[in-house]
Structure 1
Amino acid sequence: MGNQFSQLLIIQFKEFFREPGALFWSFIFPILMSFALGMAFSEKPEITQRAAVVLEASSDSSVLKSYLTNYCKKTEDLKFEYQNTIDNNKLGKTITHFIPTSWNESEIMMKRGQIEIILTENNGKINYHFDPANFASRLAYITISTMLDGKDLVSDNEVIKPLETKGTRYIDFLIPGLLAMGIMSSCLWGISYGLIEKRSRKLLRRLVATPMKKHWFMITMFISRFLFAILETVALFTFAYFVFGVKIQGSIIAFAAIIISGSFFFMGLSILLASRTANTQVGNGFISAITMPLILLSGIFFSYSNFPDIIIPIIKYLPLTIFADSLRSIINEGYGILEIMKPLLILSLTGFATFIVGLKIYKWY
């Protein structure tokens, strides 16, 4: 029995390490994603914004033309003709590039994401054209309108104190989400797709014909996938710790417990998905239909509070949301085992239920 267990476990590890793509997507890709997003949304020494300016050719008393001529510096860069820099000791440096162009060209630039706002002038009044739902455009409007009105961005009687609380950076929000997403993807693609592929290639039929115990096969697959999930978690968090200084503020025991319960839930779901699926095309569709909505809705990259209020209560009870929110609570807010007991039980019990149902209806060939 012990020899059968060890041989099956070795098979699971060999199958994984024989696929270079699996190593890349499991270990290297999450690290590259965290590095790219962490650098893109980390603190920058300056804010750069771009505005297209549509000037009236025949107007010599143009407010916009006067502002560009008297208050902006003409640049040597062919992309920008005028530049205004505000260096505020409270807010930092804000650089605004003004690009004189035609209306048609400015619309094309806006569609391509090359500018945040378009400025025009009508009877001495400046018109601001932008998408109010775009945060960068709204910031550009506030900044540029303040400059054109001759006002300071921050008045002397206002005090700005930089927030130094741990866990408030974007990278602190991102890493727990990537950990949860990585474990979900590892389980669903590693277990579900692996079992579906074995069934479609008639490998399960051959394995069942041997003296192999069915439960040993499932147990070794669970153990190997769980160990891979742990390795992925350690690799990503170690990278985040040394590169971005992300630290666990809460209980290590709570962190380990939620990792185990989250892994167990998605393992159980994987068995249920693979229980009756006969070919890889259908399996690929099933897994994608589950993972993509969860990744988009569960606040992995950005907060789900941006969604309409009517669906937020539903989003909060999605399994990936529960998993990611629990990890964030432990890493960023210092939660312990008692504070995460509810999500711990939800993930564990539902994972156990899906596992039992999946085994009951599992089709080996």
Structure 2
Amino acid sequence: MAESRRSSDSPSRPERQRSPLVALTIARVLVFLREPGAIFWVFVFPVLLAIGLGVAFREQPPEPARVAVDVADPHAAELVELLGGAAGVQVVQLDRVTLDAQLAKGTVDLAVAFTPPDRFDYRFDPSRSEARVARLVVDAAVQRALGREDVATISEHTEIPPGSRYIDFLLPGLIAMNLMGSGLWGVGYAVVQERKGKLLRRFAVTPMRRSDFLLSFILSRLVFLVIEVVALVGFGALVFDVTVQGSALDVAVLCFVGGLSFTGVSVLIASRTESVEVASGLMNLVMLPMWILSGTFFSYERFPEAVHPVLQALPLTALNDSLRAVMNEGAGLASQLPELAVLAAWGVIPFAIALKLFRWR
């Protein structure tokens, strides 16, 4: 009788247990959602940054050449009259001290003096592109005013090709930079915090595998990757009319591999670090050089050509280049295999090393 009762109370089949990796990943996601500060830095801050930079570098009509004339010049009125009607020229009269100061600061591009009947003196800084352009514009206006005739017929085409604006260049860089920041801080910082709070010691006495523990951080970050990328791309499309020229699936694959590369580096940083301060320093040491060198806000081609191979081997550079190629040029994923190889190497190799080095205490 008792045996029959025990048989009826027991389940007819073994209860299906949830995978430790799945349970840990869900826990990481829930913990993240309870942190308003983390949500702000991952989702809101990149949009605010895109707004600020997009407005600052929005498409505007070309600024006129800023030309200064010394008010004490006895022929200043003639010079102002001569240049005042020229297209693309803005003339101001300043005293000599103010003129010299503004010319040094770049507030004015060119200083002009006139000695009748036909002598003009130009003062400008040849290292500034605006000053060189102002010199050409003013000289053309002066020569035409004095009777020069253009013998060549010129036709101008001023169309802006898709994907060539600064905001088109900037948005893929912001996506990549956000993936790097959320990958490094969202994974490495959290692991070190749990080690400092003695939580990892409790995990050490469980049958949990270190690979499950570390992968749960990585997978939880990838859950939010979709939201991060869609938010930035959608914002760019709605506010700045940014169009993805290539395949959305290719963009998703690049972001997925890029996210994995940064989380792999982050896990390596956190594998033995015990102090939050040390972890912060190491992550800044990794991120700050790439912010400057990897072409997020300006092209890394401004650096000497000899260092380009080194810069192209950085994960942020590879992700920037591949995202811009797909989003702005419509390139296919097959053409980005070198960049994908760089990203995969930065994800797999550091993670494999971290598995060897990781300790619970």
Q: Contact (CA 8 Å) 2:203, 2:360: kept in 1 or not?
A: no
2:95 aligns to what? 101
Q: Structure 2: how far apart are the matches of 1:192 and 1:107?
A: 53
Q: Contact (CA 8 Å) 2:189, 2:276: kept in 1 or not?
A: yes
User: Paired residue for 1:39, among 49, 55, 62?
Assistant: 55
Segment of structure 1 superposing worse, 196-205 or 270-279 = 196-205
Q: Which runs of 5+ in 1 are unaligned?
A: 73-83, 87-93
Q: Structure 2: how far apart are the matches of 1:201 and 1:137?
A: 59
Residue 3 of structure 1 and its aligned partner are, at CA, apart by 6.7
CA displacement 1:294-332 (0-9 Å, x = unmatched) = 111111111122222222232222221111111111112
Structure 2 length normalisation: TM-score?
A: 0.83
Segment of structure 1 superposing worse, 199-208 or 320-329 = 199-208
Residue 200 (str. 1) matches residue 192 (str. 2): no
Residue 190 of structure 1 and its aligned partner are, at CA, apart by 1.1
Q: Which amino acid aligns with 1:25?
A: W
2:215 aligns to what? 219
Residue 85 of structure 1 and its aligned partner are, at CA, apart by 6.3
1:139 aligns to what? 133
User: Paired residue for 1:127, among 122, 125, 136?
Assistant: 122
* SS of the residue 1:311 aligns to: helix
Q: Contact (CA 8 Å) 1:46, 1:95: kept in 2 or not?
A: no
1:77 aligns to what? none
Q: Contact (CA 8 Å) 1:50, 1:116: kept in 2 or not?
A: yes
CA displacement 1:80-131 (0-9 Å, x = unmatched) = xxxx662xxxxxxx3525251333x345445666x1425154875423232x
Q: Contact (CA 8 Å) 1:305, 1:312: kept in 2 or not?
A: yes
User: Paired residue for 2:80, among 47, 50, 68?
Assistant: 68
* SS of the residue 1:2 aligns to: coil
Q: Structure 1: how far apart are the matches of 2:301 and 2:224?
A: 32
1:329 aligns to what? 325
2:153 aligns to what? 157
Structure 1 length normalisation: TM-score?
A: 0.82
| % identity of equivalent residues | 33
Residue 117 (str. 1) matches residue 73 (str. 2): no
Q: Contact (CA 8 Å) 1:52, 1:101: kept in 2 or not?
A: no
Segment of structure 1 superposing worse, 218-227 or 199-208 = 199-208
Q: Structure 1: how far apart are the matches of 2:151 and 2:182?
A: 52
Q: Structure 2: how far apart are the matches of 1:117 and 1:212?
A: 67
Q: 1:338 to 1:155 in 2, by over 3 A?
A: farther
User: Paired residue for 1:15, among 15, 20, 31?
Assistant: 31
Residue 270 of structure 1 and its aligned partner are, at CA, apart by 0.8
Residue 196 of structure 1 and its aligned partner are, at CA, apart by 2.0
Which protein has the bigger helix share? 2
1:26 aligns to what? 42
Q: Structure 2: how far apart are the matches of 1:237 and 1:32?
A: 13
Larger radius of gyration: 2
Segment of structure 1 superposing worse, 212-221 or 21-30 = 212-221
Residue 362 of structure 1 and its aligned partner are, at CA, apart by 1.3
Q: 1:227 to 1:148 in 2, by over 3 A?
A: farther
Residue 283 (str. 1) matches residue 264 (str. 2): no
* SS of the residue 2:122 aligns to: strand
Q: 1:144 to 1:209 in 2, by over 3 A?
A: farther
* SS of the residue 1:126 aligns to: strand
Q: Contact (CA 8 Å) 2:69, 2:91: kept in 1 or not?
A: no
CA displacement 1:27-74 (0-9 Å, x = unmatched) = 12222222222233232135245344444x3x42x3x442124543xx
Q: Structure 2: how far apart are the matches of 1:174 and 1:210?
A: 46
Q: Structure 1: how far apart are the matches of 2:174 and 2:341?
A: 22
Q: 1:70 to 1:165 in 2, by over 3 A?
A: closer
Q: Which amino acid aligns with 2:25?
A: L
Q: Contact (CA 8 Å) 1:106, 1:118: kept in 2 or not?
A: no
**Superposed, which structure 2 residues align to 1:308-323 within 5 Å?**
308-323=304-319
Q: 1:280 to 1:161 in 2, by over 3 A?
A: same
User: Paired residue for 2:245, among 249, 263, 267?
Assistant: 249
Q: Structure 2: how far apart are the matches of 1:279 and 1:69?
A: 69
Residue 163 of structure 1 and its aligned partner are, at CA, apart by 2.9
Q: Contact (CA 8 Å) 2:245, 2:329: kept in 1 or not?
A: yes
Residue 298 (str. 1) matches residue 289 (str. 2): no
* SS of the residue 2:332 aligns to: coil
